[in-house]
Structure 1
Amino acid sequence: MSRYRILFVDDEENVLTGMRRMLRGQRNEWDMHFVLDAQAALAVLATEVFDVIVSDMRMPGMDGAALLTEVRRLYPGMLRIILSGYSEQESVMRTVGPAHQFLAKPCSSQTVAEVISRGLELRRVLESESLRRLVAGLKSLPSPSDTYYALVSYLNNPMASVSGVAEIIAHDVAMTVELLKVTNSAYFSLPSRVTTPLQAVRVLGLEIVAALVLKVGVFRGFSGEAVTARLMEDINRDSMFVGRLARHFGKMEQFESRALEEAFCAGMLSSVGLLVLLDRMQGRFYRLKDALGKGQDLLQAELEVFGATHLQLGAYLLGLWGFNKAVVEAVALCGQPGLLPAERMHVAGAVHLARSLAGPSPAYGAGEGGRLKLDEAFFHSLGKTERLKRWSAEAVALR
């Protein structure tokens, strides 16, 4: 099996020397190449194939943000990581689009290795190389235009508040994903990960959120057909319900507070892959609905029509953007929670239960074909079969 290829870029030779020495233990797994500037990096990339690029931010000439922007354009499937010893707001803002993850210097070799390894391990979640390129090349996700412009208008209001901004963002999956990606980056050095828009806006502050929206353009209004925009709004409402339901089931199963927040976050973001598909493969939904109408299983139909399920696409994107393992795992295994060994209910199980009992996703219409099949064998293995009726009643009551 060929080794993964990693390209490191930094204008300080002693930094590269230290990185080479500290990562010596990875030589059996990775083929590592080190260059001193962006132009040298682009020259190497023009003749050789790499899986990951790790670049310093501040370099003479073309800096790290500009380099990764070019790499995204030319080689969209590469995992792009930015390293910076500078904490200026403007520098960080410029990396939001082109970089998948931001690491702050000084950064240990172990941290760098772990981030690279997690990114490479995600390939097991999404096997299709063309789909990995599609997801990795995304700069942003689409939000319904009405929601986007409502947020822009509100941020321009001198009376705008943290809670008001968070309320608008919390009802949009794409905005929530983007905001949590930025907030949980190493730039802010938070002691624990935030999982809700309200936490994120409190950490960032209105000034930074306004800059992200109004100057950097981190959020994007959907510019396609009105019927698709309305569908996205329906998906957002459904996603909020799935998140609330997953957290409710977590409470019933006595999850600890951290797991409760992860259940809500993963439940809400479990539909993020649908936004990618609607944005990039909308024309194939007709084939999918036809397959569902003939009684085909939802996830199997997605595999045949798109090359992957929306859960695989979503988990891959969340993993690339640095979301924690529990959230990524819960989204990836939302359709098959039994693949994760457990003696008691876990986050992935709560999200699976919520998605199944919430009913068919609006993306596939009202028919039962669009409902995620409940993994009864998983709940039987946990001795929870007798609770299914109560869970179903709770889902109806929370509507």
Structure 2
Amino acid sequence: MKKILVVDDELQILKAITRMLADTDYEVITSENGKDALAIIESTPVDMVIADMRMPIMDGFELLKVVKEKYPKIIRIILSGYAEEKAMFQAVLHNVAKLYIFKPWNNEEFLQSINKLFSVDTILHSDELIKSIDDMECSATIPDYCKQLLSTIEKEDVNAVIDELEQNADLSALLIQVAKSSIYGVMPNTVKQSVKYIGLHNMKCFVHWACVVNAMKCKETDTFDSHMLLQHSYLTNRIFLFLYETFLHKQPPESALFAGLMHNIGLIMIAKNLQKKGSLSQDTQSEVYFEFDQKQYQGKHQEIGAHLLDQWDIPFPMYEVALYHHRPLDPYIVNFELVSCVYIAQSFAWKTLAGTEIESNISEVFDKLDLSKEEFETRLARYLK
């Protein structure tokens, strides 16, 4: 039985969540403050912590920050009011929670989200998946300068982040390139502009992308050119943002600006691993990438990518996209709209680059988003000219 610790200084909130979970298989423990909650966690194994953002003694941000550092396997959820913008920015920047629930909530949706988080956690920590990842040695090495940059980002010093980036020509050029694929209708030309538009809370994701690009650099002896996979990622992000701006008339979630860029990390790492073994050639196309994944990794590139993003401390919406970007109709998806938009974007990116449309559920996904596939295709063609 999974144990859920609920922490809030308001007794009515504790009672409401306890009632909501009463007819489930979850065991509920409650606490009225952060310090007592930590004492409970130290003495009792807990699978999930749901904490209110605003509490006396120790607020939800501080509590979940400690839980993340000391007990990283515990799933973390924040309860928040709409007025707590500064606290929410810090929570997103430091990725202290997998999910943010705003008051007042819908009980059915809240309960479904809890179930879905546990489902994803089970998938990403299965013994079979961990063995596949260990066997393929697919993690990207983090250079010292990237470790330093990640540390500076954690300190929330924007000027220091800009200074460090400007001292590295390769990182600066890559940042500007990434920014151009991540900001619809804006073409930043400097590091400062790029950091401003991307936002400090997305810079951690950029640093890990830089490590991936560094790992994918081709040597003269390589038989595999990574250009196609990387170009697909950039184009997916452009189409993803175009879809949000032009058809949904809004921005994607702040923590998911790079959802299109990072969605295929699992396939990229599989390709790099196979390249080391000499299993890929220069003319490898999209169908062959998926064929290798299916034959040698049982089609697990989505799970592998999601696991890696989770290990890199990338926000939950990003690795949920990686996990379901070929299965947008899966009933366990929390962020359906986000996953669906990346699903559409990556499919049209492959169609543009390789001339093939690889997804069979594309029309149904357009229908669920209440969008016209034909209109999207027409306007996208004009946009990409």
TM range (shorter): 0.5 to 0.7
How far does residue 28 in structure 1 lie from its aligned partner after superposition?
2.5
How far does residue 113 in structure 1 lie from its aligned partner after superposition?
2.2
How far does residue 34 in structure 1 lie from its aligned partner after superposition?
1.2
Give the partner amino acid of 1:293.
L
Q: SS where residue 62 of structure 1 aligns?
A: coil
Q: SS where residue 347 of structure 2 aligns?
A: helix
Give the partner amino acid of 2:18.
R
Alpha-carbon separation, structure 1, partners of 2:267 and 2:274: 13
Alpha-carbon deviations, 1:223-275, whole Å to 9, x = none?
85983497999976542323456799x9xxxxx9339998xx99973441455
Per the alignment, residue 10 of structure 2 pairs with 12
What root-mean-square deviation, in Å, do the aligned CA atoms of Structure 1 and Structure 2 show? 6.1
Given that 2:9 and 2:32 are in contact with CA atoms closer than 8 Å, whether structure 1 keeps it comes out as: yes
Q: SS where residue 54 of structure 1 aligns?
A: strand
Matches within 5 A, 1:317-328: 321=315, 323=317
Question: Is 2:273 aligned against 1:286?
Answer: yes
Given that 1:311 and 1:334 are in contact with CA atoms closer than 8 Å, whether structure 2 keeps it comes out as: no
Given that 2:7 and 2:34 are in contact with CA atoms closer than 8 Å, whether structure 1 keeps it comes out as: yes
- Over 3 Å counting, the alpha-carbon distance change for 1:61 and 1:283 in structure 2 is farther
Given that 1:125 and 1:312 are in contact with CA atoms closer than 8 Å, whether structure 2 keeps it comes out as: no
Alpha-carbon separation, structure 1, partners of 2:185 and 2:238: 15
Is there any run of 5+ residues in structure 2 with no aligned partner, and where? 134-141, 153-157, 163-173, 187-192, 219-225, 332-339, 365-376
Per the alignment, residue 240 of structure 1 pairs with 234
- Over 3 Å counting, the alpha-carbon distance change for 1:174 and 1:351 in structure 2 is same
Per the alignment, residue 72 of structure 2 pairs with 76
Per the alignment, residue 289 of structure 2 pairs with 298
Matches within 5 A, 1:159-238: 172=178, 213=200, 221=207, 227-228=214-215, 238=232
Question: Is 2:301 aligned against 1:309?
Answer: yes
- Over 3 Å counting, the alpha-carbon distance change for 1:15 and 1:293 in structure 2 is same
Alpha-carbon separation, structure 2, partners of 1:275 and 1:60: 41
Given that 2:2 and 2:27 are in contact with CA atoms closer than 8 Å, whether structure 1 keeps it comes out as: yes
Question: Is 2:347 aligned against 1:357?
Answer: no
Alpha-carbon separation, structure 1, partners of 2:362 and 2:199: 43
Match of 1:120 among 118, 123, 143: 118
Matches within 5 A, 1:309-348: 309-310=301-302, 313-314=305-306, 321=315, 323=317, 332=323, 334-335=325-326
Question: Is 2:103 aligned against 1:105?
Answer: yes
Per the alignment, residue 40 of structure 1 pairs with 36
How far does residue 290 in structure 1 lie from its aligned partner after superposition?
2.4
Given that 2:232 and 2:349 are in contact with CA atoms closer than 8 Å, whether structure 1 keeps it comes out as: no
- Percent of aligned pairs sharing the same letter: 18
Q: How many residues align?
A: 309
Q: SS where residue 105 of structure 2 aligns?
A: coil
Question: Is 2:267 aligned against 1:269?
Answer: no
Alpha-carbon deviations, 1:115-138, whole Å to 9, x = none?
323323434764636979x9xxxx
How far does residue 61 in structure 1 lie from its aligned partner after superposition?
2.9
Per the alignment, residue 189 of structure 1 pairs with none
Matches within 5 A, 1:141-160: none
Per the alignment, residue 57 of structure 1 pairs with 53
Give the partner amino acid of 1:50.
V
Alpha-carbon deviations, 1:374-394, whole Å to 9, x = none?
64877999xxxxxxxxx9xx9
Q: SS where residue 277 of structure 2 aligns?
A: helix
Alpha-carbon separation, structure 2, partners of 1:356 and 1:234: 9
Given that 1:83 and 1:104 are in contact with CA atoms closer than 8 Å, whether structure 2 keeps it comes out as: yes
Is there any run of 5+ residues in structure 1 with no aligned partner, and where? 135-140, 157-167, 177-195, 200-205, 251-255, 341-345, 361-370, 382-390
Given that 2:350 and 2:357 are in contact with CA atoms closer than 8 Å, whether structure 1 keeps it comes out as: yes
Q: SS where residue 24 of structure 2 aligns?
A: coil
TM-score by length of 2: 0.54
Q: SS where residue 3 of structure 2 aligns?
A: strand
Match of 1:257 among 238, 247, 253: 247
Give the partner amino acid of 1:56.
D
Per the alignment, residue 95 of structure 1 pairs with 91
How far does residue 20 in structure 1 lie from its aligned partner after superposition?
1.5
How far does residue 30 in structure 1 lie from its aligned partner after superposition?
1.9
Question: Is 2:63 aligned against 1:67?
Answer: yes
Alpha-carbon separation, structure 1, partners of 2:323 and 2:357: 15
